[in-house]
Amino acid sequence: MWSTGRLEGLFTQEYEVDCPACSSTLFVAFGEYGDFASAGDYVTSDPVKAALLPADPTALDPLPARLHRMATQAGQEKVAHGLTCLFGRATCPDCEEVFAVSDQVLERY
């Protein structure tokens, strides 16, 4: 289910997903540019952004909790933070639908 290809966004600090309500293509970013969902290229333009709602690490399901714990123990704080974003929620800046980021990553990848 969570293959290397699906986890690759943890290293690039970005996932491209579709909004489940309006089908807009969104960038879910976390890291040096901030933690948000945007409906446009956030590097070369100034799109509308919506803040991410990272998951509480203590409330993660078993596999994400294990991955988060392993990343934290290995001193990989960026990966640990990315996991809370991947398994958290985002708001579509176009239609304001709140959705689980991981569900949309599974849909696309």
Q: How far apart are CA 59 and CA 10, in angstroms?
A: 19
88 residue type, one letter: G
Residue ranges in the chain whose pLDDT is less than 50? none
Query: Do 51 and 36 form a contact (C-beta atoms < 8 A)?
Result: yes
- Which of 49, 23, 37 lies closest to 85, judged by CA? 37
Please tell me the pTM assigned to this model.
0.92
Q: Give whole-number Cα distances, 18 to 9, 30, 31, in Å.
A: 15, 17, 20
pLDDT of residue 2: 75
